[in-house]
Amino acid sequence: MISLKDKIVGGFFGQAFGDAWAMPALLYPQQTWDYYGGYIERFLDGPDTHPVHHSLKAGQVTDDTEQAAAIAEVIIAEGSVTAEGIGKALVNWYRRIGGDESPYVGPSSRRAIQAIMRGDNLNEVGRFGDTNGAAMRVSPIGLINPGNMDQAVHDAAISCIPSHNTDVAISGAAAIAGAIARALSEGSTLEDIVQAGIEAGKAGRQHGYTWLGASIPRRIELAVDLVSSDKPVRERLQDVYDLVGTSLAMSESVPAAFGILVLAEGDPELTAIYAAALSGDADTVAAMACAVAGAWKGIQAFDPQHIQTLRNANTWLDFDTLTTGLYQIAIKRNN
């Protein structure tokens, strides 16, 4: 049996692990394959030609994990999930990285954070946010709600208010949070986890401002169907890229993450390898999928050398304090 603490630690490390592993991937599968001569099978520097990650070194995380850590910090400090707290966390993160000059701040996040800093109404600034920023950072919310999908959906919806307060964005964030919450449950299967993501995605769509976007639960089912064929793995990856997509759109990257998770049978390292091969917004797909995989398999599923690489490459990130804090909140909520 894997302890809840080990699952929570695995989930947060999984977020960082997938993010950093897939960070060097390029824009489409053949491009990544040709550049690296095959799968990415270790931490690598961002290539000089990468439009966003060219300055990052092997093992460094991107804004996905930076925002997840910022959210974890405020949840731990306040003991709950509030729109005000999430807004504060995002502004603090944006200022810390020099967001106005940063090339990797997502469009929905940038627009909303700048509006918050101007003093605009917190409940209105995220009404057009439909990209995947809310899902890429939602792992701490899943991790504090072990086995409680309803609360995970509720908290995910609150976390979306400052930047991604649309039904399609909340659906995607809720799908990831719900899947992580289910993955923390003792005895959960991969099928249970995927179904929890689908159901949470349906529930999340009931929140936020109505906006354009395909059904995330239906596209999760599509992605799972595509990876469950008997084609060679690379062809299945190409099918996900072509038919589901890996762009910043919430309705692409979240379903793709579930597809990759299933293709890798929930193994965190294989999930990261496949997400990197998938390309596009690979770091986000990998961060989401590996957070779920890590929560399911626990920290023991990761190579200790990979864990040390993440620690060395991201010395600003206090993994131990954050995971302990998230665990303590999870325990309080479970009692």
The CATH number covering residue 53 comes to 1.10.4080.10
What does the pLDDT look like over 277-303, one tens digit per residue?
A: 999 999 999 999 999 999 999 999 999
When the pLDDT of each residue in the chain is averaged and rounded to a whole number, the result is 96
- CB 28 within 8 Å of CB 156: no
Determine the structural domain holding residue 67 and report its residue range: 4-334
pLDDT at residue 162 tops 80:
yes
**pLDDT tier, 126 (very low <50, low <70, confident <90, very high otherwise):** very high
pLDDT at residue 334 tops 80:
no
What gap in Å lies between CA 82 and CA 283, rounded to an integer? 27
Cβ neighbours around 121 below 10 Å, total? 9
What gap in Å lies between CA 333 and CA 266, rounded to an integer? 26
Convert 52-89 to b/e letters by CB count within 10 Å (16 or more is b).
ebeebebbbbbbbbbbbbbbbbbbbeeeebbbebbbbb
What gap in Å lies between CA 194 and CA 199, rounded to an integer? 9
pLDDT at residue 103 tops 90:
no
* Mean predicted confidence (pLDDT) in 162-190: 97
Task: Outline where the chain has alpha helix (H).
Answer: 4-22, 29-36, 63-78, 83-97, 107-118, 133-136, 139-143, 149-160, 167-183, 190-204, 216-227, 233-243, 250-263, 268-278, 282-297, 304-313, 319-334
**pLDDT tier, 33 (very low <50, low <70, confident <90, very high otherwise):** very high
How many separate domains does the chain show? 1
**pLDDT tier, 151 (very low <50, low <70, confident <90, very high otherwise):** very high
| pLDDT recorded at residue 15 | 98
